């Protein structure tokens, strides 16, 4: 990565640690920059593969993956505790969906009937196919927790609250 990219990442990490709020667009811009740099480095690595630069290229790939993972985890942790300004960019939309799943899980554990085999009752809001049947709006169905949470986050079902 270029010195500019490292300086930008350093600034983002410092702001995240020092400030309460983080902007999702800053995180997304940093990840975009890292991906652009990674494409350039990948092309360079492919051209120089026979010249003994494999270790350098592998180390670069490992550090890129680690930095990207940390940025995503940082953004998510700030969002979970309400310290992120979530925009309408790609990163913001993904964070909103993850937060819906987290909120759904909290709601599920507090207000819903959890059955012994790790499932719950849901009301179908939008039609979808499950195995060999089609769930139609208005139906009440039993779904495993993970499927119920995901379908709830994207608006296909509503987890039935009993408490």
pTM, to two decimals: 0.61
- Domains in the chain, number: 2
Cα–Cα dist 130/101, whole Å: 20
Cα–Cα dist 82/85, whole Å: 8
Residue 56 and residue 124 share a domain: no
pLDDT for res 124:
94
Residue numbers of the domain that contains 128: 112-159
Q: What are the residue ranges in the chain where pLDDT is below 50?
A: none
Tell me if 132 sits within 8 A of 126, measured CB to CB. Answer: no
What's the maximum distance between 2 C-alpha atoms anywhere in the chain?
Answer: 66
Residue 119 and residue 70 share a domain: no
pLDDT for res 47:
85
Residue 117 and residue 85 share a domain: no
Residue 149 and residue 83 share a domain: no
pLDDT for res 6:
65
Q: What would the pLDDT profile of 87-109 be if each residue is shown by its tens digit?
A: 777 777 888 888 888 888 888 78
């Amino acid at each position: 990565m270029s010195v500019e990219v490292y300086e930008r990442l350093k600034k983002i990490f410092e702001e995240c640690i020092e400030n309460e709020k983080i902007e999702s667009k800053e995180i997304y811009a940093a990840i975009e920059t890292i991906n652009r740099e990674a494409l350039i480095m990948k092309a360079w690595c492919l051209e120089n593969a026979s010249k003994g630069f494999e270790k350098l290229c592998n180390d670069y790939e490992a550090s890129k993956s680690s930095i990207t993972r940390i940025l995503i985890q940082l953004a998510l942790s700030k969002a979970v505790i309400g310290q992120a300004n979530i925009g309408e960019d790609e990163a913001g939309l993904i964070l909103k969906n993850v937060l819906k799943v987290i909120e759904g899980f909290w709601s599920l554990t507090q207000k819903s009937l959890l059955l012994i085999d790790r499932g719950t009752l849901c009301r179908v809001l939008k039609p979808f196919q499950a195995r060999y049947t089609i769930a139609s709006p208005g139906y009440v169905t039993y779904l495993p927790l993970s499927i119920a949470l995901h379908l709830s986050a994207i608006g296909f079902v509503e987890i039935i609250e009993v408490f």
